[in-house]
Amino acid sequence: MTTTELWTSFAARADAHPEVTALVAGDRFVSYGELTDMALRAIPRLRSLDLLPGEPVAVEAAKTPETIAVVLAGMACRIPVVLPSLTLPPTTRTILLDRAGARHLVSETGTTPADPPPPLDAGHSQPRPPGRLDTAIILTTSGSTGIPKLVPIATGAIERFADWAAARFDITSGAVVLNYAPLNFDLCLLDVWTTLHHGGTVVLVDTITATHGDRLLDLLDTQGVTVLQAVPMAHQLMIRAARGSGRSIPSVRHVMFTGDHLPPHLLPDLQSLFPAGRRYNLYGCTETNNSFIHELPAGATPSQIPLGEPLPDVDAIIVDESGQVLAGEGRGELVVSTPYQTAGYLGSTTAGAGPFIEADPSWPTAGTRPLYRTGDIVRRDHLGALHLEGRNDAQVKVRGTRVNMAAVERALLDHDDVAEVAVVATPDSVAGHVLNAVLRPGPDATINTLDLRRHCAGTLPTAAIPACWQVTDGPLPRTSTGKIDRESLRHTIERAQAGTGLIGEEA
């Protein structure tokens, strides 16, 4: 499989039905024929860069038809495209492009040389490995723990995933698919590239619409969206915008939530809002793409939403703290291998393979693909269902008790008045760590921290109840892939604690 086959498939559909709408971007409707012409005009621009075989070009991830056309041109020329987020600080972007080996940055205004990297002690890599000739797109991780990692995705991996997703969610000619996620996020492999590969229409969500539930609902309604995939925050925005109005969007046939925890008490609202929509919980990582899916039966409101079943040809095991594979009930780290995964990070400064490991001969896995340590802690119940409990790097000890901060966040999100929450730990000489909760209330809600403590006490041990609380009216900071930037919050809290004592209200 070569990158030209992705292009060939798209171009063939454009040749057969040039009048079909490929992209909707605000008031712009771009047909397959027009998008093909845009890509063809971009090809000489890329070829003029005198790139080495496998050398990527950077394309600013502005969510526009022009950006998508340049990526298609890269597929036609077998030129990998790395998509740096527009929200990255300039220094971070420079380091990222240096690690990728991208000498040229393409934007809507032209092509410029990438900035020279900062000095070595700033963290850029050397030397860079040669590019992979089968790479189509280079995605980035959230960067929540530092410089985002570069995740090259091969053409064959995209093809395999697109064929599965198109069959599962009826993405074909006539399908209208919402693209909520940034273009550098792995969700776009379904929203954008699966849709264009199979002849559907992609509706691009701009940054302003993405933060307003009423505008999102209007967009779904006016464009007749049939497939909706978004992070829980987007679903919560739409649910709150529709609550009390009786509004529903009957065109949506498939509703997916992914990338974070959706409070189960919102499931009835989700079904009312999309009465004809089948609801799915999708689980995956940027490195592996989707690996689990759970379809919720109509009317189901479980207290916990399981990860579901592995996708076809996905291997998954649970490894406990001793390194043993769990065969029955228990908890441990989820380790997976998928037919859609990356071969490894590009330009990584991490010694060894990092989270990519070879299977132990005694492990019950099939095939020869490397396994990926997700870093996610899951629990297998007595029925065999898997439940996500948090990250292995989200566990701290408070007064000698191990606390999972993701579990604390889930408990707080189950409170009706909480729209967003992040729980971060800061060092404490007595307790070991102090838990800090930063919350944004929902519309017309009033946060009472005493009430929240009582709410937490109903499901959490005493050590897991946050000691410090901060309520904010604005949205919590986000990474370049739209996830809550807990690292930024932690630094802000630590600075405040160092200067003025504990931030917010202390227990």
Q: How would DSSP label each residue in 121-171?
A: GG---SSPPPPPTTEEEEEE---TTSSPPEEEEEHHHHHHHHHHHHHHHT-
CA–CA separation, 340 and 393 (whole Å): 25
CA–CA separation, 259 and 276 (whole Å): 23
Cis peptide before 127 (omega within 30 of 0): yes
pLDDT at residue number 121? 42
Look up residue 62 and give its two tokens: 């502005």
pLDDT at residue number 130? 43
Whether 150 and 80 have beta carbons less than 8 Å apart is answered as no
* Nearest to 62, CA basis, from 95, 107, 96, 25: 107
The alpha carbon of residue 400 and the mean position of all alpha carbons in its chain are separated, in whole angstroms, by 33
pLDDT at residue number 145? 58
Q: Which residue, of 360, 391, 422, is where some domain finishes?
A: 391
Confidence of residue 65 (pLDDT cuts 50, 70, 90): very high
CA–CA separation, 81 and 46 (whole Å): 11
| Residue 438 falls inside a structural domain | yes
Residue 110 scores a pLDDT above 80: no
CA–CA separation, 479 and 372 (whole Å): 23
Instruction: Calculate mean pLDDT across residues 297-312.
Output: 90
Same-domain pairing of 402 and 485: yes
Confidence of residue 349 (pLDDT cuts 50, 70, 90): low
Domain membership of residue 353 as a residue range: 312-391
Q: What is the CATH number of the domain that holds 400?
A: 3.30.300.30
| Residue 130 falls inside a structural domain | no
Residue 35 scores a pLDDT above 80: yes
| Residue 299 falls inside a structural domain | no
Look up residue 124 and give its two tokens: 């850029």
| Residue 284 falls inside a structural domain | no
Lowest mean pLDDT among 184-188, 242-246, 254-258: 242-246
Contacts of 142 (CB under 8 A, 6+ apart): 148, 286, 479, 480, 481, 482, 483
Same-domain pairing of 489 and 427: yes
Residue 257 scores a pLDDT above 70: yes
| Residue 479 falls inside a structural domain | yes
* One-letter amino acid for residue 156 of the chain: G
Residue 117 scores a pLDDT above 60: no
Same-domain pairing of 371 and 418: no
Same-domain pairing of 359 and 406: no
Same-domain pairing of 494 and 467: yes
CA–CA separation, 40 and 21 (whole Å): 18
pLDDT at residue number 361? 75
Look up residue 321 and give its two tokens: 């703290």
Residue with tokens 């509706």: 203
Instruction: Calculate mean pLDDT across residues 164-174.
Output: 97
| Residue 15 falls inside a structural domain | no
Same-domain pairing of 422 and 489: yes
Q: Which residue, of 363, 391, 419, is where some domain finishes?
A: 391
| Residue 45 falls inside a structural domain | no
Please provide the distance, in angstroms rounded to a whole number, between the alpha carbons at the two ends of the chain: 59
Instruction: Calculate mean pLDDT across residues 478-489.
Output: 83
Whether 412 and 397 have beta carbons less than 8 Å apart is answered as no
Q: Is 121 exposed, middle or buried (0-12, 13-18, 19+ CB in 10 A)?
A: exposed
For 459, phi and psi rounded to 5 degrees? -130, -10
Same-domain pairing of 459 and 495: yes
Same-domain pairing of 383 and 443: no
Indicate the number of domains in the chain. 2
Same-domain pairing of 485 and 416: yes
The per-residue pLDDT of the chain, averaged, comes to 88
Interval 376-386: pLDDT, tens: 989 999 999 99
Same-domain pairing of 353 and 377: yes
Give percent helix, percent strand, percent coil of the chain, each to the nearest 5.
30, 25, 45
Q: Which residue, of 343, 368, 391, is where some domain finishes?
A: 391
Highest mean pLDDT range out of 270-279, 398-407, 433-442? 270-279
Q: What is the CATH number of the domain that holds 335?
A: 2.30.38.10
pLDDT at residue number 378? 92
Same-domain pairing of 403 and 387: no
| Residue 338 falls inside a structural domain | yes
Look up residue 65 and give its two tokens: 């038809």
Same-domain pairing of 485 and 401: yes
